[in-house]
Amino acid sequence: MTAAPTSTGPSSTGPSSTGPTSTATTGHGPAKTGPTGHGPAGPAPTSTAPTRTASPEASARRPAVRRTAALGVLLAASLALVPAGTAYADGIRAKQWALDALHTQQLWRTTQGKGVTVAVLDTGVEADHPDLDGNVLPAKDLIGFGARPGDRDWARHGTAMAGIIAGHGHGPGDADGVMGVAPEAKILPVRVILEDGDSARTRARTTRGGALAEGIRWAADHGADVINLSLGDDSDSAHPEPAEDEAVQYALKKGTVVVASAGNGGDKGDHVSYPAAYPGVIAATAVDRYGTRAAFSTRRWYATVSAPGVDIVIADPDHKYYEGWGTSAASAFVSGAVALIKAAHPDLTPAQIRKLLEDTARDAPVGGRDDSRGFGMIDPVAALDAAGRLRPEGLRTTAYGSEYFGPGPDTAGSGHDAADWAGPLAGGAGGVLLAVAAVLWRRGRGTRGWAEGP
C-alpha cells in the first residue's frame, strides 16, 4: 500500500480543505492533505489538475472582514483530509456506501437529475475530471485571484462536493470512479472561497467577504435550481450577515432551494453556523453508516435533516480518490437528493421540498426531531413518492421569529444518545466533509483504466 499524496487539497478562504496531504480545512467538507499525506512515504502524484479556467471576474462588493475570516477558517477545518493507503480502482464504487443508504438504484429508475442545475458555491470545480466531464457548466469566479487551474490548491473541495452531487463515473459502462446522487444533473461552479493552502487566502478574507452573498444571488439569477453551500462560519464570533440572509431569501423567492452544512463544531461547543442558520435553508447534519450522529456534527435548533458524512469517497483534481468526513459531504448528498426531486417535480417550491424531506425522513429521533439529526435521515425514495401527491404552491419566503436565535444543543439527559439515533441504515449521513482519511485510488492521466497510487 502506498502512501497518500502529500500535496495539499482544496484550501479555501472558506473551507480550508486541503488535498491529498492532510491539512485541516476551514470549510465543512473534507480537508485533504496533498501528496505529503500521512501514509507510507512515496513519490508525489504525477497527475496534474486540469487547465480549464474559471471566470476571472471578482466580486464587486466588499464584505465585512470579520465574517470573511471566520468563514474561511471554518471551511478549512471541515475540509481537512488525512490520506490513507491506496486500493484498487474497482473498489471505489463498492466503498460508496451512501449510494446504497439512499437507495439510488431505485431512484434512478425514476430520474437521474436531468434538466436540473446545482450551483456549487465553493473553491471551484475541475470541469474536466473524468467523473464530471460534460456535467460542469461555465464557472463564475467571485474571488478573482489565488490558485489557478493546474495548481495543487485549486478546486479540491469544490470538486469533491460536485462529485457527490453529480459524478457519473467513467470507463466502460461508467463503472469506475465516483458516482453522484444525481449523475445527469449539471454543476454550476461559483468560486466564493479559497483552499486553505492558497497563499492568497488572507487577502481573500479581507477583500472578498461579500463573495458568498453575491454568489448566492448570481447563482439564483443564472439558472440554479439548487444551491449547495458546503461551507460555513461557526467560530466564536459567528453572527448573521444581513447581506447573506437577504441573498438566501432572494434565492428562495426565485424558487431556488438552498442547502447548507450544519457545521462541524459538535465537539467544539456546537456554535451556530452560518449560512446554515438562515431562515429557509435546509441544514444538513452528518451521520455514519449506522445512522448514528457523527461526533463532529453540530447540534443546533436549525438542523433540518441528516445525510451521510463519514467515510465518504471523494474525487480530487489529482485524479485520486480519498475518504473524507464532514457536514460538507452531508450537504452535498442532500443537494443531490433535492436535484432528483426537482427533476421529477420541477414546480415544487423550496418550502414544499424542505417539508417533503422532513416528513419522509427515516429513523426519526424520539419525539420526531432533535438538534442532532433534525427530522432524521433523508429518504429520497419516499420523498419522490410523496411529491407525486403534492400540488405546486405559490412561492413565499420563510422567516423565523424568536426561534431564529433559538436555544443551544439538546441538553444531556434528554434521552437523545447515539443509541436512539442508530437505525437500520446501510449508511449514515454527514453535512460537510471535514477530513479526508485516505487516498484510495488514482487514475493515470493519459491512460485507459486505473493505476495504483504512488
pLDDT at position 324: 92
The domain tally of the chain equals 1
Closest CA to 19 of 453, 30, 2: 30
CATH number of the domain within which 225 lies: 3.40.50.200
Is 168 an active-site residue? no
Question: Is residue 117 included in any domain, yes or no?
Answer: yes
The answer to the question of residue 88 being in a domain is: no
- Please give the chain's pLDDT, 454 residues, in tens: 333 333 333 333 333 333 333 333 345 554 443 333 323 223 333 233 333 333 333 333 333 344 544 554 333 333 333 333 343 445 899 999 999 999 999 999 999 999 999 999 999 999 999 999 999 999 999 999 999 999 999 999 999 999 999 999 999 999 999 999 999 999 999 999 999 899 999 999 899 999 999 999 999 999 999 999 999 988 888 889 999 999 999 999 999 999 999 999 999 999 999 999 999 999 999 999 999 999 999 999 999 999 999 999 999 999 999 999 999 999 999 999 999 999 999 999 999 999 999 999 999 999 999 999 999 999 999 999 999 998 877 555 444 443 333 334 444 333 333 223 222 222 222 323 345 655 665 544 332 222 222 2
Q: Which of 87, 112, 76, 294 has its CA nearest to residue 194?
A: 76
Domain membership flag for residue 28: no
With b for 16 or more beta-carbon neighbours within 10 A and e for fewer, the 254-267 pattern comes to ebbbbbbbbbbbbe
Active site residue 328: yes
- Is 83 domain-assigned? no
User: Is 254 a domain residue?
Assistant: yes
Give the CA distances from residue 313 to residues 83, 264, 297, 390, in Å, rounded to whole numbers and listed in that order: 12, 18, 18, 34
Which is the catalytic residue, given 129, 157, 170, 319? Answer: 157
What is the pTM for the complete model shown?
0.75
Beta-strand (E) ranges in 123-265? 140-141, 168-170, 176-179, 186-191, 226-229, 257-261
The verdict on residue 305 lying in a domain is yes
Can 103 be counted among the known catalytic residues?
A: no
Beta-strand pair 19-20/8-9: antiparallel
Nearest to 71 by CA among 376, 225, 276, 314: 276
| Identified catalytic residue from 122, 153, 234, 316 | 122
Backbone angles phi, psi at 275, to 5 degrees: -90, 0
Query: Per the residue annotation, which of 306, 328, 331, 372 is the catalytic one?
Result: 328
Residue 350 belongs to some domain of the structure:
yes
Within-domain flag for 30 = no
Give the cell for residue 61: 462588493
Task: Give the separation between CA 221 and CA 95, rounded to whole angstroms.
Answer: 37
Tell me which amino acid residue 186 is.
Answer: K
Task: Note down the domain range covering 190.
Answer: 60-65+93-432
